[in-house]
Chains A and B, each alone.
Chain A
Amino acid sequence: MKKKFFALFSALLLVWVAGCSDQEASTEGSSDNESEKAPKEIELLNVSYDPTRELYEEYNKSFAEYWEKEKGQKVTINQSHGGSGTQSRSVIDGLDADVVTLALAYDIVAIAETGKIAKDWQTRLEYNSSPYTSTIVFLVRKGNPKGIKDWDGLVKKGVSVITPNPKTSGGARWNYLAAWGYALQQNNNEEGKAKEFVTSLFKNVPVLDSGARGATTTFVEREIGDVLLAWENEAFLALNELGEDEFEIVIPSVSILAEPPVTIVDSAVEKNGTEEVAKAYLDYLYTDVGQEIAAKNYYRPRSEEIAKKYADQFPEINLFTIDEVFGGWTEAQKTHFADGGVFDQIYQP
């Protein structure tokens, strides 16, 4: 009996092992075949952040068609999405990205510091290498029961605000800085007042999710909070995907101009021989087709023509840039989000 059991058991193990080697063999085989059939095919890896999934899904199809028509070459674009900081770290540690399209310049600067991207990357493309922009808006429950019209509505007693944790989420950093910028404008640029404002805002935050999409879920699915601070495109997406008759978007009087930057990863395109197609991929973002796809996915286009076409969708907001108010990302990161920075002080007992 014992023997039988053992035989059966080892047979099971064998099946496992055999199964694994089989599978390996078959994957190898198939990739060989592919390369024989179509030697010209080329692959690109775009490493991006979370809220751009829908945008790049549509854009990649469009670009692949364009490139095949233009060059007669098939291009497959692989996508990787995650938190902007995490994605940046993966590229630093060896994820073989040909292009990076991240949430904030700080994350690309970090890659550039390792020498994988040229230091002057931000001047290589127009508009600080940000082909589209976005901003921070409020998503409130239908009918806006708490009557939130602007940033000052967020610090009122009894208003519950949902925003992710700025220490772990790039989007949350934009939220924080937008609130800070508003407070500065209201108080003649007094830093102390701004800190007070942001402190009382975060007193109203009951849950700090680790990422932007987690925060949206908390607000929408768990029904926690009166207002969600979100990227404009995320707010629209939440509205469309999760319930148009349950939420509405409130545009504050002033907000921050979020410029998600894009660039090629020099060391990778050199190694992979993808420089030409990678550059074309990013340039295509600036064309009318690319701009329209961005606008359709609720990113504010740079092209004035396309912007006019989608004017209904994007109401005018008074926007300030991070360079104007905070002296750039590196500075803002150091003052506000580094350990012991302003954000940490808010939570000091």
Chain B
Amino acid sequence: MVKKIKPQRVLPGFGLSMGYTIIYLSLIILIPITVLFLKASTLSLSDIWQTVTDDRVVASYKLTFYSSFVAAVVNAVFGTLIAWVLVKYQFPGKKIIDALVDLPFALPTAVAGIALTTIYAPNGWIGQLFEPMGVRIAFTPIGIMIALTFIGLPFVVRTVQPVLQDFDRQYEEAASTLGANSIQIFFKIILPTLFPAILTGFALAFARALGEYGSVVFISGNMPMKTEIVPLLIVTKLEQFDYAGAAAIASVMLIFSFILLFAINFWQWRISKKHQVA
């Protein structure tokens, strides 16, 4: 992986830090993940193919990717906005709002699922407002998206926030004295600087949503072909003592996510490189 190190490094400690990174990464992540693939490979190829292309499984892939994507987009937009408000403006209660952003991480996912279902169920606080309009939130894909938005929100806010904090106000002021209006400043100066961070947050929220189980099972209703997410099918397989089948579905998900994350990381890296050169 780290075959050639370009001669341009001037800072010390590359060998040490990289060595440590790779060893720890292998211990905690790579070895366990390899075991997963090994388990999946105990099935024959045709069995694996059959398992992962089953109608129900395919329907759940679609649902999982679609709702995760929507949730991540919502988070990217509103997360950036929240980070912006938290960094740039002073208003009463700001500290509390700032603290609340982390709640989705601290609350056990099961509790989040139960709380969200309580609110969005047809007899819940918000659910009952929508019920007369014939809109159901809990036990439909909308409910799943809400749960996934909830769990992914901190990612975008917390990746954008520090970059904004370090962001040099001088650029803005300079641009403003040069006659740029605020929309121009935002799109020409601020957004390009923030974009790598937003993209990172988006990728993380997306990836996290793909794997989420605890909160979704409460709000989704788990109807086959309609509101079944991939992790639920994995649990279903386990329930039948079909470890290899579960590992096969999990491996497919993992490969998908890896490619996706890789593409986004690559994109992010290119943007930030361009930005640095410019």
CB-defined contacts of B237 to chain A, threshold 8 Å? 339
B176 on the A face (CB < 8 A) = no
CB-defined contacts of A92 to chain B, threshold 8 Å? 241
A74 on the B face (CB < 8 A) = no
Given contacts A210-B232, A222-B122, A348-B55, contact A338 B225 (CB under 8 A): no
Query: In the complex, A214→B138 CA distance in Å?
Result: 14
B218 on the A face (CB < 8 A) = yes
Given contacts A110-B241, A224-B121, contact A210 B235 (CB under 8 A): yes
Query: In the complex, A214→B218 CA distance in Å?
Result: 8
* Complex contact A168–B121 (CB within 8 A): no
CB-defined contacts of B239 to chain A, threshold 8 Å? 83, 85-86, 167-168
* Complex contact A339–B54 (CB within 8 A): yes
* Complex contact A167–B236 (CB within 8 A): yes
CB-defined contacts of B69 to chain A, threshold 8 Å? none
Query: In the complex, A167→B221 CA distance in Å?
Result: 14
Q: Mark B119-160, 1 if CB is under 8 A from A, else 0.
A: 001111000000000000011000000000000000000000
B139 nearest CB neighbor, chain A only: A207
Query: Interface extent on A, as a size class?
Result: 20 to 34
* Complex contact B117–A222 (CB within 8 A): yes
A110 nearest CB neighbor, chain B only: B241
Q: Mark A212-248, 1 if CB is under 8 A from B, else 0.
A: 0010000001111000000000000000000000000
* Complex contact B235–A168 (CB within 8 A): yes
A341 nearest CB neighbor, chain B only: B240
A165 on the B face (CB < 8 A) = yes
Query: In the complex, A338→B235 CA distance in Å?
Result: 13
CB-defined contacts of A209 to chain B, threshold 8 Å? 217, 222
Supply 7 further A-B pairs (C-beta < 8 A) apart from A167-B236, A210-B222, A223-B122.
A206-B221, A207-B139, A222-B117, A222-B121, A222-B122, A339-B237, A340-B54
Residues in A lying within 8 Å of B, measured CB to CB: 83, 85-86, 88-89, 92, 110, 165, 167-168, 206-210, 214, 221-224, 333, 337-340, 344, 347-349
